[in-house]
Amino acid sequence: MNKALNILINVLSEPSVLVALIALVGLLAQRKNLSDILKGTTKTFVGFLVISAGAGVLQQALAPFGDMFKAAFHVSGIVPNNEAIVALAVSKYGSSTALIMFFGMIVNLLIARFTRFKYIFLTGHITLYMSCMIAIILSVSGFTSVSLILFGALTVGIFMSLSPAVVQPFVRKLTGNDNVALGHSGAVGFAIGGLVGMAVKGKKDIVSTEEINFPKGLGFLRDSTVSIALTMAVFYIIVAIFAGPAYVESHLSNGKNYILFALLQAGMFSAGVFIILSGVRLVLAEIVPAFKGISTKIVPNSKPALDVPIVYTYAPNAVLIGFFSSFVGGIVSMLILVLSGGIVILPGVVPHFFTGAAAGVFGNTMGGVRGAILGAFVNGVLISFMPILLIPVLGDLGLANATFSDSDFGVVGLFLSGLNQMGGKMITMIGIGLVLLIMILVSLKKPKSSAQ
């Protein structure tokens, strides 16, 4: 049983395999010839592996930046990191996590088939992390066996349908079409980034981050690879200087000169972004036409909800601005927490990059440069304070030195814990059922062909 669950969780949590299977089903549904099926499936599979490889390179470059930051400014506290908290939880909640994830994906397909929330969530690792958090919270609330799996799966399926819907108006504005959706756990932060952009855009035409007029001699900064590498080099070197050569060369660079190490990490960061953007272009070129088979024959009018890097290609400058603005929001929040004497949440560079960059993209779409800066800043504050509220509802794991990071984890976690505090298991079950009922009633008001 455990071996089968391990295989299931490995397959369902691997985005490249999951999306390749979706592409295969879509192409088969369109009765494409064998050559097109093999090409589309393989390129989708390889494209997602390219994105994963780019994300890995990025995380390798970001890890020493976080370590140098902590050493430079002598701060300690809890680091929001999804991978770390799931690794701690999986030994105790692994079986229930796998079953909640599997049945949650079926609930997502049923919702997409029979309601107007026609999003098929394809970011497997986010589904895994959300299933794990829900397994923890419902277990702490007293759910066991069948009720744990049933209501856990319903909650995951609802999240997989509602999360893309929250941010889809901004995705439509950004892409100019309704072909794809965003499947990530930072949707609330992205939507708030877009709303902040709308609020600050002013009466004049917005100035996009991609239209910044550099002086003629700085024209090379229009190349995103160059501008990202040079900008990051400045930040890496500053943090490395504050951390000191002794710390960097003895703990991080394996004896390599600390300035040279900082420059190499900045270059690696830019390389990671370049790889991700290349993979995104490859995947989008294949998954959108392949998905037509599913959206027209199996789940009519449905859209694939893909991982957050799919929006980065639309505004590379906003990606960088969003990351820094979100990180600044994290630093400001950290200072407030230090002064208040409570639990300190350290700004994790990984969540601030992936969610801050997207909040910057949507803030720029709605409000130009000001929207990118302020929208991502608000996202940074949001993902700093929400993890604190989650800590008490995670039981023994709340005492661990990690917690879930992105905004949607906070929303879902606080919703479930709030229901439990109001009336225990019964109110929690009623609350989950009511959300599903509302989604169905909303769908009855408009024709099914009217996508959300």
In this structure, of 79-83, 179-183, 229-233, 326-330, the range with the lowest mean pLDDT score is 79-83
Q: How confident is the model at residue 447 (pLDDT cuts 50, 70, 90)?
A: low
Instruction: Tell me the HSE value of 447 on the side-chain side, using a 13 A CA sphere.
Output: 4
Distance (Å, rounded) from C-alpha 362 to C-alpha 339? 32
State residue 392's pLDDT score. Answer: 79
What are the helix and strand counts (H, E) for the chain? Answer: 13, 5
User: What is the per-residue pLDDT across 121-173, written as a single tens digit (0 to 9) for each?
Assistant: 988 788 888 988 999 899 988 898 889 999 999 999 999 999 999 999 999 99
State residue 214's pLDDT score. Answer: 61
Backbone angles phi, psi at 305, to 5 degrees: -100, 110
Distance (Å, rounded) from C-alpha 190 to C-alpha 450? 24
State residue 62's pLDDT score. Answer: 78
User: What is the per-residue pLDDT across 353-385, written as a single tens digit (0 to 9) for each?
Assistant: 889 999 999 999 999 999 999 999 999 999 998
Distance (Å, rounded) from C-alpha 362 to C-alpha 355? 11
Distance (Å, rounded) from C-alpha 340 to C-alpha 311? 37
Distance (Å, rounded) from C-alpha 446 to C-alpha 374? 35
In this structure, of 16-20, 111-115, 180-184, 364-368, the range with the lowest mean pLDDT score is 16-20
The two three-digit tokens of residue 88, written as one number: 């701690």
- Give 294's contacts (C-beta < 8 A, 6+ positions apart): 22, 25, 26, 29, 120, 302
State residue 1's pLDDT score. Answer: 60
User: What is the per-residue pLDDT across 190-229, written as a single tens digit (0 to 9) for each?
Assistant: 999 999 999 998 777 778 888 876 666 666 666 767 877 8
Tell me the average pLDDT across 384-408.
77
Contact 348, 255 (CB under 8 A): no
State residue 452's pLDDT score. Answer: 45
pLDDT surpassing 70 at residue 234:
yes
Query: DSSP labels for 168-225?
Result: HHHHHHHHSSSS-EE-STTHHHHHHHHHHHHHHS-SSPP--GGG----GGGGGGGSHH
Tell me the average pLDDT across 407-417.
92
Strand partners for 345: 78
pLDDT surpassing 50 at residue 57:
yes
Tell me the average pLDDT across 59-83.
77
pLDDT surpassing 70 at residue 451:
no
Q: How confident is the model at residue 280 (pLDDT cuts 50, 70, 90)?
A: confident
User: Who wins on pLDDT, 44 or 153?
Assistant: 153
Q: How confident is the model at residue 431 (pLDDT cuts 50, 70, 90)?
A: very high
